[in-house]
Amino acid sequence: MGRALCAECGVHRNICVCDQCSPIEGVPMLWLLQDPKEAGHSKGTARIVDVCLPSARRIVCRSPEDLEPLRRRAQHTRLGVLFPSPHSTPVEEVSPGEIREWIVLDGTWRKARRLLLSNPWLRALPAFHFSNPPRSAYRIRKAPTRRHLATAEAVAALLDQTAPDCLSSPLRNAVSALVERQLQQMPQSIRHRYE
């Protein structure tokens, strides 16, 4: 007998959070560049972005050719990359309309950095970071610090700064629901590590 998977997000219904996701309209164009190993991960939050932001586009980056259409687009559109670096600018300093479309890297920190470094055109785009990021509620995966955000949390914080008229709470609510549902599936002997 097959597993009961959600037709919308493709994960098991026990951890599906589509019921917590509602579409957010009027957001800037968003591109999620995803490491292939992250694509099927049940703890990943890119699927939350997919459901809450119908206009967002996700590209699973298996080869440089996967990014070619976006590379060409970058030649005539003001794109910004949300990824901290020594030369990145605080998102809080972005003027309205300065960046038309945003690129968010989805994967472990090491894999996201490798994706950035392996694409010179991506490195050449303006990079941005949060000068004071919100504290992450996403405690079911390891991160270097509590200030490192899951993809959906980073997108919510990005919307708060660049599209303040958009309500980002559906993203945060879905992340909280995902954490709780993942914890419910864990044996108590493991769950206590995350609480």
Amino acid at site 124: A
The domain made up of 23-173 has a fold known as Alpha/beta knot (3.40.1280)
d(CA 23, CA 55): 9
d(CA 97, CA 18): 31
> Digits of tens for pLDDT over the chain (195 positions)?
457 888 888 778 888 888 889 999 989 999 999 999 888 777 789 999 999 999 999 999 999 899 999 999 999 999 999 999 889 999 999 987 799 999 999 998 889 999 999 999 999 999 999 999 998 888 777 666 666 899 999 999 999 999 988 899 999 999 999 988 888 888 887 777 776
Tokens 């970058």 appear where? 74
DSSP string, 30-72: EEEEE-HHHHT-TT-SHHHHHHH-TT-EEEE-SSGGGGHHHHH
pLDDT at 123: 94
Could you tell me if 77 and 57 are in contact, meaning their C-beta atoms sit under 8 angstroms apart? no
pLDDT at 155: 97
For the chain, the structural domain boundaries read 23-173
Q: Would you say the pTM of this structure is higher than 0.85?
A: yes
